[in-house]
Structure 1
């Protein structure tokens, strides 16, 4: 049995009883970027121990909260899960000597359990876990609509905030509306500056920063920032703290709804970008932005189970510095792929694809590039009727073995995936409520994402959601007070 308890508006806390007594170790910082196995390197005078608390931020309903603009009602649900013990590289709780913090939930949720509940209107949500439940926390939100004026499926992972983010999504077509949602999980207000790049270079934006209140969020119409730019890339820079940023993109072609998606920040600028879960439909394109002044020569290829293959048509493009470009994806059979983008200068990248045929109904996805997993990554998914999940796991740069676990029908299932260099595999998960992946062997960069689908061919709803870091350990000081 598992329960969730709302302790305050927009805040969900999970706790578990830990060992009694005082804790002699002082947590210094999360160690998400360090290997999480017992063989991982340790800083001088420090060791790794299970995290005693974890939190993750969810944007809340993406289509509400813009000043002087009508809200578009959807009914998002929040899902929360913790990884099964078999996927953890540490033993949390009493064995580590770290006690639970915060208010205890009675009865406490069990490790490896999942729960789902409605999200409050116009509010972000912060999910917190402590004690034995802290390692391997994942959360996500999702809504689905088939109304005459709004059709789409939007699945969004809850994740940590950042101070310098890139969002590549949206466009200037008639009937298209994008909303930028900025969430501040911190205790102080944060000022956000927005910069936009387009096909012809930087796009003039309104002057002045956007203030995001402490523990709150601010939503903006993207048209007010990007104008009619057909290929925008938005840079979000925060001062005074960090923010979570997502971009909701909905499209009405005349009176025909042709899709909705909520896109996430890309990986930081680099000469290699990998999109782990690209749901390719009838047509699509790669959007590439060059933050620097120098022109980029960009190439793209598909990473499948049989190895890399070029994108049909060559998959090569030149993109001017401080600009964006689009690389068409044509001639690909519909399905789920991983896509690798390489460049001679740092770029950011995202993929757009639609399953629309002719002038009929449709839906589309935005799939952003992601950072390689430094440890455990995971996602939690609401119990949405008719929605099934497929996970895509990819290894680049070198071979790797990845462990996969997913929860469906109350049972955890596992699979070990042997991945050659620059290959990807997909696994159908059914109505999965939680998914976790970790690299268990090899040195390849592992990334993973989940494609969620509902409906029938020709009228499918689809969304892409990357698996994100699920912290397991922190660095702790070995120093003890002098007697």
Structure 2
């Protein structure tokens, strides 16, 4: 018997011994194998948020408010900082440096930080880690007092991704819509912008292969992609390489301006929460993303229950095409949320949707957008709320639900204040958030306690010399936790 044979016998014997001991120690019912447990949710350790810079605006006031909820991350360490990025044009050429002081850095979870500037701002690239990462949110609000872009533009700064849908964009003569693409990474990203009208895909001259340099933001004016003046468009931002955050800035010469948030990912149903009670115009735009047409039932979730808008009971969306319709007199003086569901569950098709909402009349009109929103999920937060002019809308489309609403301490004093609210199925509840006292602004956090899914949005409103300025931000799950699978022993690997 040679040494090689002896060595092999020794290895086999050792493995047999290990296997025997492990089997002896394992529960008999598992026969040497322990079943893995279900995944558990743990706080994220790092977050990224990107704030676009308003384009085509010379004089404006912009406020940034940063906030992280209490008690969701590590016990110590970490930071949340917004750094100035670079502005680039659609050819990928950068202008301006990225050097600058941090904007609105956080000192503690539960305490918002704010910064305001009257200068023309560039994009901001933010990162949070440690105890500041779970649930970090940043609100960007710009006020333009006069001119063709006058109004209040508000947006929750966006996490980077690879796929974004924007129904309700436009290239009409009254509109200037920019798609802002912001790249948080060091290497360049490559992006395609697709436009869809009522006839399908719009042929564009230079919407493919747009380079977004690292650490930069590129604003793309939609009217430079096509010569057609189209009132209702769906914009699809598809990232080939890297990742970006995308947002649409809509400026109307008659109806003011605002940011159009990305719709929730395509799905066979949608909830558009928080259409104001005093809306004078509600314009619905939808796009069927799949290979089949989408036939939808239209419902309005009011404070007293679900109703069907007269004359607009259903909506038919052809595959690959944008469909738009006005919903006159929709709210009838009551806040509401649109719910779009398949007329036939057996032939449901994915779609995206948003509404353009107008308040005021004549020359004193202002617009904002409400897209299809994701559910609150585990928790949702929104920053920069005021003691006056803030309205929180909560929709429970399918079942009763209970939520806890917490207002943080303000940026200048005050104490956290909480309230528990019960929501009836098929309704929308509008309310002012609990007032924490103090001065300055505060953040609001919504946490489901029990019951069915909840959808939420926040409206900021202010009087601008008779013009009802306002902006609406949806409140989807803040992504503060992530599911982490649990591994289990499998001793059969020793037998393979």
Asked which structure has the greater RCO (Cα within 8 Å, sep 6+), the reply is 1
1:399 is displaced (CA, Å) by 2.6
1:286 is displaced (CA, Å) by 0.8
Using structure 2 for the length normalisation, give the TM-score.
0.76
Partner SS state of residue 298, structure 2: strand
Partner SS state of residue 345, structure 1: coil
Trace 1:22-33 onto structure 2 (pairs within 5 A).
none
From the superposition, tell whether residues 334 and 144 of structure 1 become closer, same or farther in structure 2 (CA, over 3 Å): farther
1:237 is displaced (CA, Å) by 0.3
**TM-align CA RMSD:** 3.0
Trace 1:159-198 onto structure 2 (pairs within 5 A).
159-198=158-197
Partner residue in 1 for 2:272: 275
Deviations 1:405-454 (A, max 9, x none): 12365332212121232222111137852111121112x22221101100
1:440 to 449, 453, 459: 449
Deviations 1:270-304 (A, max 9, x none): 11111112235112211111123433222321112
1:204 is displaced (CA, Å) by 1.0
Partner residue in 1 for 2:402: 401
The separation in 2 between residues aligned to 1:337 and 1:408, in whole angstroms, is 29
From the superposition, tell whether residues 309 and 102 of structure 1 become closer, same or farther in structure 2 (CA, over 3 Å): closer
1:76 to 53, 59, 62: 62
1:323 is displaced (CA, Å) by 1.0
The separation in 2 between residues aligned to 1:111 and 1:297, in whole angstroms, is 45
1:289 to 287, 296, 300: 287
Partner residue in 1 for 2:477: 469
The separation in 2 between residues aligned to 1:338 and 1:471, in whole angstroms, is 23
Larger radius of gyration: 2
1:392 is displaced (CA, Å) by 0.6
Deviations 1:242-296 (A, max 9, x none): 221111111114xxxx311110110111111111122351122111111234332
Partner residue in 2 for 1:50: 43
Structure 1 residue ranges without an equivalent (≥5): 1-41, 65-70
More strand, by proportion: 1
From the superposition, tell whether residues 138 and 122 of structure 1 become closer, same or farther in structure 2 (CA, over 3 Å): same
2:308 to 296, 307, 310: 310
**Is contact 1:407–1:432 with CA below 8 Å preserved after alignment?**
no
**Is contact 1:365–1:463 with CA below 8 Å preserved after alignment?**
yes
More helix, by proportion: 2
**Is contact 1:301–1:340 with CA below 8 Å preserved after alignment?**
yes
**Is contact 2:178–2:250 with CA below 8 Å preserved after alignment?**
yes
Partner SS state of residue 450, structure 1: strand
From the superposition, tell whether residues 450 and 46 of structure 1 become closer, same or farther in structure 2 (CA, over 3 Å): closer
Using structure 1 for the length normalisation, give the TM-score.
0.78
1:160 is displaced (CA, Å) by 1.4
